[in-house]
Structure 1
Amino acid sequence: MANYQDIADWHVFLSPSRSSEGSRRARLRPVRMSTPARKRLMRDFKRLQLDPPAGISGAPQDNNIMLWNAVIFGPDDTPWDGGTFKLTLQFTEDYPNKPPTVRFVSRMFHPNIYADGSICLDILQNQWSPIYDVAAILTSIQSLLCDPNPNSPANSEAARMFSENKREYNRRPKLSARRARLRPVRMSTPARKRLMRDFRRLQQDPPAGISGAPQDNNIMLWNAVIFGPDDTPWDGGTFKLTLQFTEDYPNKPPTVRFVSRMFHPNIYADGSICLDILQNQWSPIYDVAAILTSIQSLLCDPNPNSPANSEAARMFSENKRDYNRRVRKLSSIHQFWPLIESLRRHRGLRMEAHGSGFRRVFVLAFCVAGIWSAYIYQGVLQETLSTKRFGSDGKRFEHLSFLNLAQNVVCLIWSYIMIKLWSSRITGGAPWWTYWSAGITNTIGPAMGIEALKYISYPAQVLAKSSKMIPVMLMGTLVYGIKYTFPEYMCTFLVAGGVSTFALLKTSSKTISKLAHPNAPLGYGLCFLNLAFDGFTNATQDSISARYPKTSAWDIMLGMNLWGTIYNVIYMFGWPHGTGYHAIEFCRQHPEAAWDILLYCLCGAVGQNFIFLTISRFGSLANTTITTTRKFVSIVVSSVLSGNPLSSKQWGCVVMVFSGLSYQIYLKWRKLQKLQRKRKTT
């Protein structure tokens, strides 16, 4: 049913043109790449090639970036094992704000797949989010094959059979898998059989930054793409090759040539490659993946003693700086995608329409009240624990980082309960171990933020932590060369100026007397380190959500707090006199502090519920607006209730910071309005 020639070029060239000009330049040039949807699809393609999920392949069709072909290989040890199932994905200019239309081309028998190949999948309907990319879509569909939902049937016969006669149902997918096996022509020779194994292996377990497939109807001629390795002069380049095999393969190596123009000591002018494993060091054990991986390594580790390009070899040996500059220039010619995604753009600009009229207003008001009450009261408790003297002995609670451990434990239990009560999904989310790296930064960052309360006042801490845009734009401008608009620079100037001036102004003696160890530079430094760690945590969570699209907010909450609990327990109880023992002893002697800690943790868990609800119903823009205004109110509450008087100049700084944040929200809203008007006109 599905021949290799049908899917061969789906994985390599967007444009099959073989003109001489096209041979000289490797830049992929899809038409009309000015729209956000097309730029995002090119990023999806690059991401799919650099880090593809196992058993999935996809690429744009011909010159149309909006229409994709894809292949899903049936998961091992399932009734679908061995099948090769073809799909199409039709995108619109609303992507990623709206999902694509996805259909199976292969004939399928599944409870959630209609007769015309359409798929009944929540993330393609009401659960869609702009964070999902093509890899996430295909991964979700692959998971759906083995984990159908008979309660939402698209094929009533399949749903009934799945529920009533599982054994008979499993026979049908096995039949579909047998029909959908690759059946290339003239596959009787050992070379052709071996090449088909190589192709299957390359699709199921591809090395990073490598893609390849047979060309047209010829299994003996392959097209391939190598992406320049990160953090090298070749970074960002997209280099095309051809591999010509003979019937002697794998006993003899293929003839490999670069189609892209190259400047390298071991690559000839005609694109041929001087590489030992393609000559005297060849072994039948090498497959296509090994060949392409070796060539990718050769780019960064040339051998000038065996030159194919004498000029490149001389420059590499005598003037490495000029050589790298020449290679970077070549890589920039071969770029098809702007490598650095703008750090200032947020994925959740879309406000979803769940309900309308009075009900929608009521739900929004409920979310605002929930977020404000939970986090404002949590701020009051946090300030109390950091400044209050407990008991007759007037001791301070010095172990503020213990609050993070307590918060981790409560949120871990809370998220586990919510998953058990509300989640109907059994599998498909991110494995628990994937959160280990994000758990480290999520443990260190908040600990620094809360420890800052020993050195600066609560209003100062809130103000400093509101300036997240400053390190983001600094990194974007200085490291990645991103150009921001004047209004965006104005927002950052207002926030940076407000925070800096607030820090330089004299703090009232009453506020200083409440601090355990007054030290403004250290306190602000801890806050900015907290922001830096939070940035890494958020990026890692986004990556996990994209890789495992069935991962819910509760899954993330569970995984993050599991690792946070593990790390904090090791840090606080890993030795006989750890801070955790002292914190527990303090709570035993001062039950009032223990109650404050418990309420602090419950406020955090409840607040997370309202944030999840707000994002799912109204989008991240509404959530950003609510949380930003909440911070301003927290400063007012701290000044009025907790006795942290601010001077008129300090209030001016507060207004300055929140004016910048409000203007940033307005810019996002205006961008959203333009996007919505554009949808209506297209």
Structure 2
Amino acid sequence: MADQSIIRITKEIGELQKSSDLSLAVAFRDRDVRNVRALIIGPHETPYEFGFFEFSVKFNKDYPRKSPSVTGITTNSGRCRFNPNIYSSGKVCLSILGTWRGERGEEWSAAQGLESILLSIQSLMSSNPYENEPGFEDANELQDKKNQKDYVAKIRHESLRISVIQRLEEYLGINNTSAISQQSPEQRDYDLDIDDDVEVDDASIPWEPFKDLCKRRFLWYYDTYLESIKKAKEEVKDDQAFVRMPFEGASNSMEGKFNYTELEQRIRRIKKAIDAESDRWAVEGGSARTKDATVAVNLARQFEQIKESFKRSEVPHNIELVDGNPFVWSFTHFGRPMTNLDGGMFRIQLNFSPRFPEEQPRVKFLTPIFHHRIAADGTPCYFPNPSRREDVRQHIDAIIEALEEEQPPYDPRTLVHPEAHRLYWGNADQRKVYNRQLRRSVQRSMEEI
């Protein structure tokens, strides 16, 4: 029975890791498949939008006959209740987990699995989470309507502050006085140890399986975060206190004050730090190259193979190493004839980490282009084959596919350029405006030659 349980868990993890669902990610450490970390990215048009919410999933030996236990990790050290059903203690109230009394047929069954659990949790992250609290499902009174608005407002602020900004600052080693003052003494001590360059045993360093993913997604959603801040500034004032909800208790609530001015400063600082990190990779890579590091040799070999394949291809492409560094590639894509990209020349740079493929490449269009899958700073939203993350050709092909795809399915999780996204998925007149903007950027690319 135990072996069957392990097989089932491993299969479910593998399917999720190969999935094209951009809002879910799972990982486990070493061979311990019974202890899984899961990341849920907050849904579009909710106060959780593009937040990074992490959960611990522990499978018992009776799985799938019995459901696993799930605990929320993104709680600001137990001080933030992100949802009526997601407590500050990390408890997740769901009937399929046996943590909430549901209707008949809503209990756990062996037909369910890890993905259905994560999707159920994600469904709690709605546009109006106030209604998730029992007894408040049909709240129609004037005070209830005000509470709904106030509840959404503070969740939006804390989702950005805690799940995005605080998480990325910790990943990047950015000191933020107000954030540190809100941490537990143990966490403050740990952060100070790391920042002071004190040697730490690898075993004591927290396991962060989603660090690279969150950094890359931050670059995708950076402009959306800024738009959200701009809109929120019109609705609430700095230093305005959060309103406590009727169902919130002293030890299970979301307390604090709004301060979007500070959040904007912090989010811009994170963006600069990630960009600087990409630049450091080139320097680190150059050093690794001189030592014939395995990653450098691998990238150099892949570069020669891809360059040779492009020479034999009918599609014109140009690819070079920047300053001979195998960790920095320059790729020029020529727009296909009879498309909106016809005649365009787009220079794209790929920066590789000395820890590739553990850290995936940072890609940027150096040639400005107005495109719904390319952020204003040139960061493309593309999807390489998850099972071949070490194959650079997969990345290049996926970048080209994202750029040239003529009839992409609507997916708000690819919202990396807010203005272009709205126009592209708008009405017929808005699509015409989008096409004109795209053609102008294509023409400008030709003028720069």
Q: Report TM bin, short chain.
A: 0.3 to 0.5
- TM-score, length-scaled by structure 1: 0.26
Higher relative contact order (CA 8 A, sep 6+): 1
Compare the two structures and name the one with the higher helix fraction. 1
- TM-score, length-scaled by structure 2: 0.38
